[in-house]
């Protein structure tokens, strides 16, 4: 209530503003995915059905918009991990969560690259988002260790490094396709396996022909 | 002899030319490592002690020079792997070879990125170099499988993907330093382990503080 009086804005107008902001974020994510970082903010405003003034009021620079989209994606990922932990019971969670993140980052590659390492060091909200992921992964590891899915000694930053590596494979070798990524992840799963637990390799080993499958013109 | 008559160039002049070329490649590798891809060809010629004309005769464009340096690095790597295979006896070879390549690519990052995926598809010499690595890794895998160091079903392209992933970790998280890379590689080693063989994790799990160890100004 105090907040409402402070802003001097009627409740329905603030609800509209929040909806506009969420809509802008969702549309921006789509447009950035389709067009890459060259996407124009004009197109984003237009497709979201809001004026440019509204867009700039919410996100003064394009980088602000991109950062907000990435923060939203991270929040969604953390929320999904929390939900898996709540409903997962005795099922393995850490590896499925890793698969989820890698598959998604494959699609949102440019987005995550654009806020790369420096942003995590300089932007306080990014640092907080990073800390939230680390905290979640710590709990996923503890859950899966207790059930014998994951080796002792594994830390959340170890997992982030494995996820980072698999994301690089996913984005740098697009010719290999999603099956090859599943294959690769089934291999990486062995890195987090506890002694005596053997996870099967999925599919067959890719060949050099798979690497050179498509002519450049079709890439 | 026929070749000598064809070129019409005395033997010592051809030996000089070959030496110049090797010297240019070695100096170019150093300068590119120090300055990145922005390095000037003028500086490379000067430090190699040859004229610009000699440089351009050998490498008409800067990209030709960069490609030649990368091909040379790949050839060196393949030669080292061959030597390990010849002298390694019953020792594990595949994982030490992976460590060697990842540690090196950490240093030569920009170089390898500059001839990225497209070059391997379009440049015939790159394709041949790629095929030579694949062939070598196939033999390293067979050697280590026979001795029980490496799991069945693992293919050379599987290994390339693991190497690619570890290289991405090495170059994208420079704050973590070489010990963290050794730790990460000791984890990845579990991915290639055969059932029942447990490789120890090196060091301790890195923390979020390790990720944010240095202020941006010192990076």
Q: Looking at this predicted complex, what is its ipTM?
A: 0.83
Q: Is the model's pLDDT at B210 over the cut of 50?
A: yes
Of all residues in chain A, the one with the smallest CA distance to B113 is A172
Question: Could you give the CA distance from residue A93 to residue A79 in angstroms, rounded to a whole number?
Answer: 14
**For residues A170, A172, A174 and A178, what is the CA-based torsion angle, rounded to 10 degrees?**
-10
Nearest 5°: phi and psi at B142? -60, -45
Asked if B37 reaches chain A (Cβ–Cβ under 8 Å), the answer is no
CB contact under 8 A, A172 and B193: no
Q: Where are the alpha helices (DSSP H) in A8-154?
A: 11-35, 41-48, 52-58, 62-87, 94-107, 109-114, 117-122, 124-146
Token pair recorded at residue A209 = 């022909």
Q: Residue A123's pLDDT is what? A: 81
Question: Could you give the CA distance from residue B114 to residue A107 in angstroms, rounded to a whole number?
Answer: 23
- Largest Cα span, chain B: 67
Q: What is the pLDDT of residues B151-178, one digit of tens each?
A: 999 999 999 999 989 988 888 766 677 7
Mean pLDDT of chain A: 85
**For residues A120, A125, A131 and A136, what is the CA-based torsion angle, rounded to 10 degrees?**
-120
Asked if A124 reaches chain B (Cβ–Cβ under 8 Å), the answer is no
Domain A63-218: give its CATH architecture: Orthogonal Bundle (1.10)
- B62-218: CATH number: 1.10.357.10
Q: Is the model's pLDDT at B187 over the cut of 80?
A: yes
Among residues A22, A42, A44, which one has the least CA distance to residue A33?
A: A44
Among residues A73, A24, A65, A16, which one has the least CA distance to residue A46?
A: A24
Asked if B89 reaches chain A (Cβ–Cβ under 8 Å), the answer is no
CB contact under 8 A, A192 and B190: yes
Token pair recorded at residue B31 = 């300068």
Token pair recorded at residue A49 = 């059905």
- H or E element at residue B117: helix B117-122
Measure the CA angle with vertex B100, ends B95 and B106; round to 5°.
125
Among residues A9, A43, A15, which one has the least CA distance to residue A28?
A: A43
CATH, domain B1-60, list 3.40.50.720, 3.40.50.150, 1.10.10.60, 3.90.1150.10: 1.10.10.60
Question: Could you give the CA distance from residue B13 to residue B66 in angstroms, rounded to a whole number?
Answer: 25
Give percent above pLDDT 90 in chain B. Answer: 48
Burial of B122 (0-12, 13-18, 19+ CB in 10 A): exposed
Q: Is the model's pLDDT at B121 over the cut of 70?
A: no
Token pair recorded at residue B52 = 């610009």
In residues, how long is chain A? 219
Of all residues in chain B, the one with the smallest CA distance to A207 is B157
- Cβ density class A16-33: b for 16+ within 10 Å, e for less: eeeebbeebbebbbebbe
Question: Could you give the CA distance from residue A162 to residue B165 in angstroms, rounded to a whole number?
Answer: 8
Q: Residue A77's pLDDT is what? A: 93
User: Where are the domains positioned within chain A?
Assistant: 1-60, 63-218
CB contact under 8 A, B187 and A120: no
Q: What is the pLDDT of residues A41-83, one digit of tens each?
A: 999 999 999 999 999 999 999 888 988 998 998 999 999 999 9
Instruction: Give A-chain residues touching B176 at CB under 8 angstroms.
Output: 161
Which of A157-166, B109-118, B194-203 is predicted with the least confidence, judged by mean pLDDT?
B109-118
Nearest CB to B155: which of A165, A169, A206? A206
Q: Residue B15's pLDDT is what? A: 85
Of all residues in chain A, the one with the smallest CA distance to B133 is A208
Model confidence at A143, pLDDT cuts 50, 70, 90, reads very high
CB contact under 8 A, B131 and A166: no
Q: What is the pLDDT of residues A156-195, one digit of tens each?
A: 999 999 998 998 888 877 667 778 889 999 999 999 999 8
Asked if B130 reaches chain A (Cβ–Cβ under 8 Å), the answer is yes
Instruction: Please report, for residues A11, B149, B154, the alpha-carbon distance to residue B146 in angstroms, rounded to integers and kept in the order given.
Output: 72, 8, 13
Tokens 């969560």 belong to A97
Question: Could you give the CA distance from residue B90 to residue B106 in angstroms, rounded to a whole number?
Answer: 29
């Amino acid at each position: 209530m105090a907040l409402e009086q402070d802003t001097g804005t009627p409740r329905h107008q603030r609800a509209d503003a929040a909806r506009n902001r969420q809509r802008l974020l969702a549309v921006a994510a789509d447009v950035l995915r389709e067009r890459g970082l060259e996407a124009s903010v004009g197109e984003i405003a237009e497709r979201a059905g809001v004026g440019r003034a509204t867009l700039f009021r919410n996100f003064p620079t394009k980088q602000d918009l991109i950062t907000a989209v990435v923060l939203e994606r991270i929040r969604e990922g953390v929320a999904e991990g929390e939900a898996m932990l709540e409903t997962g019971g005795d099922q393995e969670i850490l590896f499925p969560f890793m698969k989820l993140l890698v598959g998604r980052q494959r699609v949102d590659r440019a987005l995550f690259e654009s806020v790369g390492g420096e942003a995590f060091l300089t932007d306080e909200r990014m640092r907080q988002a990073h800390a939230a992921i680390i905290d979640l992964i710590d709990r996923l590891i503890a859950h899966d260790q207790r059930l014998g899915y994951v080796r002792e000694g594994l830390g959340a930053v170890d997992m982030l490094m494995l996820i980072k590596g698999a994301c690089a494979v996913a984005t740098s070798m697009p010719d290999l396709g999603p099956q090859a990524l599943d294959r690769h992840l089934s291999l990486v799963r062995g890195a987090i396996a506890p002694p005596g637990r053997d996870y099967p390799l999925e599919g067959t080993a890719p060949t050099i022909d798979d690497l050179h499958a498509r002519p450049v013109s079709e890439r």
